[in-house]
């Protein structure tokens, strides 16, 4: 089965993600890992996180992106 073409460029997807209100306010956003892989690729996504000084974790089929440079603390 052929996969449908991606309707958005990687640059536009990243710009949209990091210009969201939550990201602009230093909050948290989440995306499906399969969308990250399909649209921008893991390597490019991680490079963008590094460039911005952000961190991300994966859990239960979601990538949670912390759009700030604050330290993370896992509670349990």
* 1 in any annotated domain: no
Structural contact between residues 51 and 38, judged by C-beta atoms closer than 8 angstroms = no
* 71 in any annotated domain: no
pLDDT per position as a tens digit, 8-67: 999 999 999 999 999 999 999 999 999 999 999 999 999 999 999 999 999 999 999 999
Structural contact between residues 54 and 68, judged by C-beta atoms closer than 8 angstroms = yes
* 47 in any annotated domain: yes
* 36 in any annotated domain: yes
* 4 in any annotated domain: no
Structural contact between residues 61 and 45, judged by C-beta atoms closer than 8 angstroms = no
Number of domains in the chain: 1
pTM of full prediction above 0.85: yes
Instruction: Identify the domain containing residue 38 by its residue range.
Output: 10-66
């Amino acid at each position: 089965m052929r996969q449908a073409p991606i309707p958005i460029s990687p640059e536009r997807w990243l710009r949209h993600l990091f210009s969201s209100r939550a990201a602009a306010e230093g909050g948290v956003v989440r995306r499906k890992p399969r969308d990250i892989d399909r649209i921008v690729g893991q390597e490019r996504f991680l490079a963008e996180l590094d460039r911005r000084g952000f961190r991300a974790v994966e859990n239960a089929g979601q990538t949670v992106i912390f759009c700030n440079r604050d330290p993370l603390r896992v509670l349990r």
